[in-house]
Amino acid sequence: MKSILISLLLLTTVLLLWRSSSSCALTNLSASIEPRRLVSIKGKAMIVGDARSSEDPAATETIIFQKVGCETCFVGTNVSADGSYEVLVGDGKYRVIVHRPSAPEVDLLAPGQERFIDTESRYNSTGTFTFDIRIKFPT
């Protein structure tokens, strides 16, 4: 009876340790998911609108890039006073997100604005990609 209890205790401990290590994404990292290269995405983020005769820099906005296929892979950058931004990411396809924290369900990308950038599908020997972003606030 004593040996059965000890065996069950050991088996339970091994199963709990195995389960906790296999559920952690960081324990399964391999060289195949590392980026082949780092690339720079940069451009201008401008606010557009119906009542505006010109575009204004989106100086108070944060641009978020989410790696396609990864629900928790986000990189963000702030827009400078002149509307320029730059972010360094691993080569891949990214969804562009612009929203206000107070209303995250409201998409601020202007109609017609590209919502994805794929640095793997476009060859660029310098590793720098220009991606201008147009933002439109709800009226």
Alpha-carbon span 129 to 122, nearest angstrom: 9
Which CATH architecture does the domain made up of 34-136 adopt? Sandwich (2.60)
pLDDT at 18 over 50: no
Q: Tell me what the mean pLDDT of segment 63-79 comes to.
A: 94
pLDDT(75) > 90? yes
- Beta-bridged to residue 77, according to DSSP, are 63
Does 138 or 108 have the greater pLDDT score?
108
What is the mean pLDDT of the segment spanning 77-98?
95
The DSSP symbol for 110 reads P
Q: What is the pTM of this model?
A: 0.71
Average pLDDT over residues 70-86: 95
**Where exactly are the structural domains of the chain?**
2-31, 34-136
User: In the predicted model, what is the mean pLDDT of residues 108-136?
Assistant: 90
